[in-house]
Amino acid sequence: MMRTKHGAIHVFTWNEDITLNNTEQFRKAMAKLIEEPADHLILNMEQVKYINSAGLGIIADGVMTARKQQKELVVAGVQGSLQEIFHIVKFSSFIKLFKTEKEAIHYFVENDNI
Amino acid sequence: MIGKFLEKIEKEKGFTLKELLQLFEERNVLCNKADQVYWIATLAERRFIFISASCEKMYGLPPEAFYQDAELWKKVVYSEDKEKLEKTRSVLWNGESVEQEYRIVHQQNGTVRWVLEQAFPVFGEAGNVAMISGIITDITKIKKMDEQLLLAEKVYEHTQQALLITDAQLVIQLVNPAFTNITGYGADIIGKSFHVLCAGYYDERFYSTVKKTTIEKGKWAGKMRWRRKNGKAYVQQTIVTAIRDCEGKIIFYLFLLAGMWPNNKTAATVKDDLKLAREVQKRVLSKPLTASRINIYGMYIPSRELGGDMYAWYRIDEERYGIFLMDVMGQGTAASLICMSVRSLLNGVIRKGIDPQEVFGELNKHMRQLYHENGRMMYYFTAIYVLVNTKERFIEYASAGHPPGFLFQKNGLVEELDQGCAPIGLLPHLYVETGKLHYEPGATLVLYSDGAIEGASRSVCTNIERFREQLKPHIHLDSKTMIKFIHNQFEEKREFPDDLSVVVAKLW
């Protein structure tokens, strides 16, 4: 896990597969990310190859909670098998997904003139 | 005797008995001043001639108070014990020895203390009872220990957890009934070496390791192979703890056979309930349907007793059929309950809404209402719904985050049903994209839950592809035979961790 800041953007990097063993940790880490005093949040999942259904639920819930607080949470590092999972569950229909962190940061900078 | 003695000391030394006893007390001759009181009283007047100064510590009253008030001894007794004491006192005044325990109240701080009073007659010249003498000992500490011992004993006796206590040399000191239930050994094993219980399984080295770990780390935990009295072996998670005396020396070892020994009756009831629930769950799955232009067949293998998959189909009118398959996040009882609640709604929702957008919208509303606690996401499910128009020969479908179903066309083309929306229950509002596919007679529609595509590869797409290729050579079979084939394939492996359900529809 790693937390970095790029101006007004908070990046949280989760670097292991999300399985039954660490679902709770992931839930807590996500709750913490959303509480960050920043409106632009990036969850970087570059290292993640697999996510279970509970993990997907946590991300979807995180996105909706952030939205309620007028924040935006996007997911970066969505590639390979993770991209396939996100495609099947159709997360792109309500979450901004980016291949790299750079693209995600770029998205926020472009849209909000940060 | 006492009369002569009294006369003598009075004559010779000018001492009264009281003075003599006071002298004895000073020299520590009479009793242990820390927790004992010695007294002597006249039989006729029932008055204290002497009471040791230690009464101040025990009762919070000086000896003078007792000399002045002949009834004071009654007043210091704890109210509940007064009656009992009155009775024995009457025996005492008759010149008999009495030994009894009762409670007193400390007159300064109000604490209640347990005492043991041993009283006995003092004989006069003619062998008659001249006086009464007694020693009162504070036994509060002992009483407390007794109570604790009794409590411990009851706990040992009634706890469902089997336990055994040995001394430092591993000689068995105590076993409880739960231990006897498991092993068959009761009081007969007490005094024997612990080795008897694991006969033939371990050598001295093992016992030394257990002891060493217990000493160094406070406890040893692991699976231990035990031998029952009937010779049969059983393996049980065991925790060994060392019990030390106040100087830190190990005096006992406590062996706890971990986990409650299953109450067979309860376990059986739960098992029966689960079996029944599973049966109900199976029964709500739609039965095979055969019509002139369509036949549908399904199968379901839950990974555990209760699963989170469900499928159903409905004839909407003469031409149209709705086929539905869902998979709840997670498995087990909660997932199966969600399945059942959706199932109870489904008939109405499909017949009323008919098209995929309406059906999913309605189910999403249901999930949000039922399973969202304080606005937090609790449960969701993925689903695929296919509306088949057998007259016009097309399907309209949507997949709510579900792995894509396959439409095997007669000409060999395979189309994936990948349009749709996010899983149901995740979002407040769903934006459903539907797909529409035409087919020729002889097409095969296959829907499945993700149990079918869990496998070697981390890539879901590869797994989907593999499953599709696995089905391809068999799509000419009728739906029942095809389902049988798939069933056999998975039954052989039987290693999948998820529920598995598959629905095959032949379209003519």
**Three-class secondary structure of residue B275 per DSSP:** helix
The per-residue pLDDT for B261 is: 45
Q: What is the DSSP letter of B215?
A: H
Query: What pLDDT shows up at residue B260?
Result: 44
CA-nearest residue to A53 within chain B is: B329
Q: Which H, E and C letters describe B22-80, residue by residue?
A: HHHHHCCCCCCCCCEEEEEEECCCCCEEEECCCHHHHHCCCHHHHHHCCCHHHHCECHH
Instruction: Give the best residue of A89, A91, A92 to mutate against chain B (max B CB count within 10 A).
Output: A89
Per mean pLDDT, which range of A48-52, B144-148, B481-485 is the poorest? B144-148
Sign (positive/negative) of CA torsion B156, B162, B168, B170?
Answer: positive
Which of the given ranges, B80-94, B175-189, B232-246, B494-508, has the highest pLDDT on average? B175-189
Per CB-CB distance under 8 Å, the chain A contacts of B421 are: 90, 93
Alpha helices in B60-203 (DSSP H): 63-68, 72-75, 82-93, 140-158, 177-183
**A-chain residues within 8 Å CB-CB of B431?**
93
- C-beta of residue A78 within 8 angstroms of C-beta of residue A98: yes
What mean pLDDT is predicted for residues B266-281? Answer: 75
A104-107, Cβ contacts within 8 angstroms, sequence gap of 24 or more: A104/A42, A104/A44, A104/A74, A104/A75, A104/A76, A105/A6, A105/A9, A105/A11, A105/A42, A107/A74
Counted residue by residue, chain A has a size of 114
Task: Give how far B108 is from chain A: nearest CA, Å.
Answer: 57
Element (H, E) at B466: helix B460-471
The residue assigned the tokens 């949470």 is: A73
pLDDT of residue B353: 77
Q: Which residues pair with B493 in a beta bridge?
A: none
Rounded CA-CA distance B96/B314 in Å is 96
In Å, how far is B503's CA from the nearest CA of chain A? 19
Asked whether residue B151 carries a pLDDT value surpassing 60, the answer given is yes
Residue A45, pLDDT score: 96
Look at residue A73 in the predicted model and tell me its pLDDT. Answer: 95
Instruction: Quote the minimal CA–CA distance from A31 to chain B in Å.
Output: 12
Interface size A-B, in CB pairs within 8 Å, comes to: 57
Mean pLDDT, range B132-158, rounded to an integer: 83
Bridging pattern class, strands A72-76 and A40-44: parallel
**Which CA distances in Å does B406 have to A46, B394, B397, B507?**
31, 14, 11, 13
- The separation between the first and the last C-alpha atoms of chain B, rounded to the nearest angstrom, is 125
Instruction: Identify the CA nearest to B316 among candidates B358, B265, B255.
Output: B358
Dihedral (Cα; B223, B225, B228, B232), 10-degree rounding = 120
Q: Please judge whether A53 and B330 are an interchain contact, meaning their C-beta atoms are less than 8 angstroms apart.
A: yes
Q: Is the CB of B460 less than 8 angstroms away from the CB of A94?
A: no
According to DSSP, the residues that pair with B95 across neighbouring strands are none
Averaged pLDDT score across all residues of chain B = 84
Give B-chain residues touching A56 at CB under 8 angstroms.
329, 423
Determine, for residues B427 and A64 on separate chains, whether the beta-carbon distance falls below 8 Å.
yes
Cβ–Cβ of A81/B382 closer than 8 Å?
A: no
A88 touches chain B (CB under 8 A): yes
Q: Which residues in A lie closer than 8 A to residue B380 (C-beta atoms)?
A: 57, 60
CB B283 within 8 A of CB B382: no
Let me know: does B100 contact B116? Beta carbons within 8 Å: yes
Tens digits of residue pLDDT in B352-374: 878 999 999 999 998 888 766 65
- Classified as helix, coil or strand, A7 is coil
Cβ proximity of B471 and B406 under 8 Å: yes
Q: With bands split at pLDDT 50, 70 and 90, how would you rate the model's confidence at B215?
A: confident
* Element (DSSP H or E) covering residue B493: helix B479-493
pLDDT for B262 beyond 60: no
How close, in Å, is residue B357 to chain A by CA atoms? 15
Contact A89 B423 (CB under 8 A): yes
How high is the pLDDT of residue A30?
94
| Domain annotation for chain B: domains and CATH numbers | 2-143 (3.30.450.20), 151-264 (3.30.450.20), 282-507 (3.60.40.10)
CB contact under 8 A, B427 and A91: no
Q: What is the pLDDT of residue A7?
A: 72
pLDDT band at A28; cut points 50, 70, 90: very high
Closest residue, chain B, to A90 (C-alpha): B422
pLDDT for the residue A114: 52
Q: Select the residue of B421, B458, B461 nearest A93 (Cβ to Cβ).
A: B421
Tokens 């004993």 identify what position? B153
Write out chain B residues lying below 8 Å of A75, CB-based. Answer: none
ipTM: 0.88
- Exposure on the CB side of residue B347, measured as CA atoms within 13 A: 5
Cβ atoms of B328 and B425 within 8 Å: the answer is: no
A91 DSSP assignment: G
Within 13 A of B352's CA, how many CA atoms are on the CB side? 11
Which residue has tokens 């003619």? B126
**Torsion B483-B486-B492-B497 (CA) sign:** negative
Question: Could A91 and B422 be called an inter-chain contact, meaning their C-beta atoms sit closer than 8 Å?
Answer: yes
Does the structure show a pLDDT above 70 at B1? no
In this structure, are residues B414 and B408 in contact, taking their beta carbons and an 8 Å threshold? yes
| Averaged pLDDT for residues B439-454 | 91
A92 interface with B at CB cutoff 8 Å: no
Residues B452-497 have pLDDT tens digits of 887 767 788 899 999 999 899 999 888 889 998 888 887 776 555 6
Distance CA B157, CA B179 (A): 10
Query: Is residue B232 pLDDT above 90, yes or no?
Result: no
Query: Which residue on chain A is closest to B461 by alpha carbon?
Result: A84
Q: Do B376 and A61 touch (CB under 8 A)?
A: yes
Query: Alpha-carbon distance B20 to B473, whole Å?
Result: 117
Environment class of A55 (CB within 10 Å of its CB; exposed 0-12, middle 13-18, buried 19+): buried
For chain A, first and last CA: distance in Å? 25
In the predicted model, what is the mean pLDDT of residues B205-221?
Answer: 85
Domains of chain A: 2-112 (3.30.750.24)
Closest CB to B426 among A57, A80, A84: A57
C-alpha triplet B251, B253, B255: angle, nearest 5°: 165
Task: Tell me, yes or no, if A64 comes closer than 8 A to chain B by beta carbon.
Answer: yes
Mean pLDDT (chain A) is 89
Chain B interface includes A16 (CB < 8 A): no
Q: Mark which residues 439-468 of B lie under 8 Å from A by CB.
A: 458-461
